[in-house]
Structure 1
Amino acid sequence: MIFQNNLSNLTNYALIFATVVETVCAPTIIYLALYHSKQMKRYRYLIINTVFWSLLFDWITFFMKPQFTFPAACILYLNPLMAYGPAYLVGTALLMALFVNVEMAVVWSFMYRYLMAYPGRIGNAVESGKAAPRVMIIVQILVHFICFSPFTTVGLPGKYTAVDDAAFLQGLPQLFEKRNEFGHFCAVGVPTTRSIAYYGFVLLGCVFVVGIILYSILFHRVIIQKSKQFNMGSTQRMHLNVIADLQAVSAQLFIGYVMLLIPTAVLVYALYAEWEEGTTIVAVAVMFVQLHGCADFLAMIYFITPYRRKLMSVFREKSVIKNVRLSQISHSV
């Protein structure tokens, strides 16, 4: 149905599930990154970066409860607190910034793993060079500038102004009389906004293609070229390590595509195409973004050997303690 999320029960429960799981898992992963993976050097900070932004994004969406109302170019905030003062504007900017940071955190993590597959000057520059963090900061700022540039193009609505009322009336006329009861943000220049959404969709398509090309190059290098260089003996162990790294990159790329890139592309295309069922479709897309943190956390624990070993040792210790206690109880009886 137009303007309504027909799968609200599913998306609401998924948000609660993702928030709880990430809240429980995030401290564990941060602890492991700080104290049990010093040999991973810079990569552990990228792990913390990914965990932090994923968790914060789920917390903020859980608090604000945003709902995209397609085909209208509007966001409603179901939390009544978002209706006060400039909260709707701050919330929209914060939501977009967090969304960008979640996706860029995955990009940086993937690029690190990808470039570290090339030992020598490239790998050393990424691992210990001073230019790598600077490039990361510059690109991060540039991406934020690009994502926020539509606001400078179409303008920012002001709450309780004629411009804001006109934008809301055009997008959601059936809720116009209740517009002051909840936070909302509607695009002012709808045609321009939809054009920007189209170019955003094209850009995401380019990112998809570039990612596939980079992965294909890495796959060819590891599976075909490196396999010819490795013989029996000590190099066989090295080959297994390279294969394990490729598997980790493959999992990260798959999770990032399915749960971040494709849902984001669906969101911006729904805005451009004015889908009548866009509210439900985009709610499911945002649900995938929220669940991405859970999948990414589990992948970290599985593919990062120090994390997996540490958690397995903890579970073994607990199992031994439990068995000892049970045996003591049985002997006492």
Structure 2
Amino acid sequence: MPNYILPSRFLAVFPRSVEPGVDREPASELMVTIVNKILEFFMVCEFVLVPLLVFLILRYSKSLSRYKYYLLNNVVWSFAFGVFVFVIKPVFHYPAPCVHSELEYSPKPGVAYDVLAFLFMYCLANAVLSMVWTLIFRFACVYHSRPSEFILHSKYTWLLYLLGHILFGCIMFQMVVVGRIRDPQEAASELVRRVPQFANRTKNLFFVCFYYSDEMIILSYLNIAALIFGFLIAASLLALLYHHLHRNVYAFPKKTIKMQFMLFKALSIQMANYFLLEILPLVCATFAFAISYRYGEPLLLVVLTVMVLHGILDYLLMIYFIAPYRRALIRWLKLVPASDFVQHLTRVGS
């Protein structure tokens, strides 16, 4: 008869094993190797695309005004997350929340562990938050009101965004500090329970273990709820933005409304990319931890790979759907004859 845990009287009951680590299917060494090779390929792509996109944003965004800084913020955090995953190469051990990395230099236990765990979560959270800022700005461009004027023109807007990132950082750091097992012997014991072959390597291996407690499980469900609720809010704002653009299609100059629709199309595709390759994988990984999913380790390797892929697709979508960047790239690659260049781009952009 399966054992059950009640994270809260208001939450559903899900089965889990009494000893996390006994009923589990670890990720094979072959799968870890394949994922690392894929991450290496993705990293090469990022090092090619990111400088190109940053140059395009800085050079060909005269008509986008402040929007280019939101795009840069988006690119920077996605790139930071991809680089961090590539460098650390984390391998998670489910159902218990332990993670180890084959770092050539393994930091001593203590503050360094907290910092690395915090940086991983902070880069991930801000990659999502940067998309929120972008959506808010696009919404303000269409809905004219006092808050919109503040977002579009006030110099204090950047201070508000900076405070938002700092607040996110404080929340992430608090989660790391509260949840991590701080006793080195207890943490080593938890890791060896899940990965017995590391019994003689705990002193030289970089690893972090978190408590598998009712509080952590409840926090997991709250994170899932927050991700889903946040996406629903974002989708609602996007739908309102679409409705407002079509309702006021003749209220703006033709050139302005064309640019607004171009940016709306780019934002919509980016949002779909975020949901499919960022939010949805995060929800699956968090839910797998909460219910002690047997195949959690292979699942999380796939999740990390997909989330890094999200960044690459995001860069490509920006280049393709934002007309000035696409035009510049086509001109550089000489994909169309010079005589037909303007006519071709007008047809593509319309």
TM-score by length of 1: 0.83
Question: Which of 266, 271, 275 is the matching residue for 2:289?
Answer: 271
* Structure 1 unaligned regions, length at least 5: 321-333
Q: Does 1:101 align with 2:123?
A: no
Alignment of 1:67-216 (within 5 A): 67-82=91-106, 84=108, 87-119=112-144, 121-158=146-183, 161-173=184-196, 175-216=198-239
- Contact 2:114/2:176, CA 8 A, preserved across alignment: no
Letter in 1 for 2:80: L
The answer on whether the counterparts of 1:198 and 1:269 sit within 8 Å (CA) in structure 2 is yes
Residue type at the aligned position of 1:108:
W
Q: Does 1:226 align with 2:251?
A: no
Residue number in structure 2 paired with 1:298 = 316
Q: Distance in 2 between matches of 1:318 and 1:81?
A: 50
Q: Is the 1:259–1:289 Cα contact (8 Å) retained in structure 2?
A: yes
Separation (CA, whole Å) in 2 of partners of 1:91 and 1:147:
12
Of stretches 5-14 and 255-264 in structure 1, the one that deviates more from structure 2 is 5-14
Q: 1:216-271 CA deviation, whole Å, 9 max, x = no partner?
A: 22222223x235x46xxx95555443332321221111011111111111121111
CA contact (8 A) 1:72 1:172 kept: no
Deviates more, 1:100-109 or 1:256-265: 100-109
Question: d(CA) in 1 for partners of 2:336 and 2:253?
Answer: 37
CA, structure 1 residues 305+79, in 2 after alignment: closer, same or farther (shift >3 Å)?
Answer: same
Q: Distance in 2 between matches of 1:22 and 1:314?
A: 20
| Cα offset, 1:211, TM superposition | 1.7
CA distance in 1, matches of 2:61, 2:255: 21
Measure how far apart 1:24 and its partner are. Answer: 0.6
Contact 1:201 1:269 in 2 (8 A): yes
Q: 1:149 to 1:170 in 2, by over 3 A?
A: farther
1:11 maps to which of 11, 21, 35: 35
Give how far 1:187 is off: 0.5
Deviates more, 1:22-31 or 1:238-247: 238-247
C-alpha contact (below 8 Å) 1:171/1:186 kept by paired residues: no
Deviates more, 1:138-147 or 1:57-66: 138-147
| Pick aligned residue for 2:301 from 271, 283, 286 | 283
- Deviation, 1:312, is 1.7
Give 1:31 deviation, angstroms.
1.5
Counterpart residue identity of residue 193, structure 1: M
Q: Deviations over 1:3-51 (max 9, x none)?
A: 2157435533331222111101111111122222133222212222222
* 1:222–1:246 CA contact under 8 A, matched in 2: no
Partner of 1:63: 87
Q: Distance in 1 between matches of 2:63 and 2:227?
A: 34
- Aligned residue number for residue 8 of structure 2: none
* CA deviation after TM superposition for structure 1 residue 83, in Å: 5.7
SS in 1 for 2:142: coil
Amino acid at match of 2:317: A
Offset at residue 85 of structure 1 (A): 5.3
Contact 2:140-2:152 within 8 A present in 1 as well: no
More displaced stretch, 235-244 vs 35-44: 235-244
Matched residues, percent identical?
23
Q: Distance in 2 between matches of 1:220 and 1:40?
A: 22
Distance in 1 (alpha carbons) for counterparts of 2:213 and 2:189: 11
Would the alpha carbon gap of residues 308 and 21 (structure 1) be closer, same or farther in structure 2, given more than 3 Å must change?
same
**Runs of 5+ in structure 2 lacking a partner?**
1-23, 339-350
Structure 2 residue aligned with 1:325: none
Give the structure 2 partner of residue 50 of structure 1. 74
> Is 2:45 the counterpart of 1:21?
yes
Question: Which deviations, in whole Å up to 9, do the C-alpha atoms of 1:270-324 show, x marking residues without a partner?
Answer: 111111111111111111110111111111111222211221221229988xxxx
**For structure 1, which segment, 238-247 or 128-137, has the greater mean C-alpha deviation from structure 2 after superposition?**
238-247
1:129-150 CA distances to partner (integer Å, 9 max, x unpaired)?
1332222122222222223322
Match of 2:4 in 1: none
One-letter amino acid of the structure 2 residue matched with residue 179 of structure 1: T
Alignment of 1:241-280 (within 5 A): 241-280=259-298
Comparing 29-38 with 60-69, greater Cα deviation is found at 29-38
Q: 1: distance between equivalents of 2:326 and 2:130?
A: 22
Distance 1:56 1:237 in 2: 35
Provide the aligned C-alpha RMSD in A: 2.7
**Partner secondary structure for residue 26 of structure 2:** coil
Confirm whether residue 308 of structure 1 aligns to residue 331 of structure 2: no
Contact map agreement 2:262 2:323 (CA 8 A) in 1: no
| TM-score, normalised with respect to structure 2 | 0.80
Contact 1:73 1:171 (8 Å CA) reproduced: no
Distance in 2, matches of 1:94 and 1:184, equals: 15
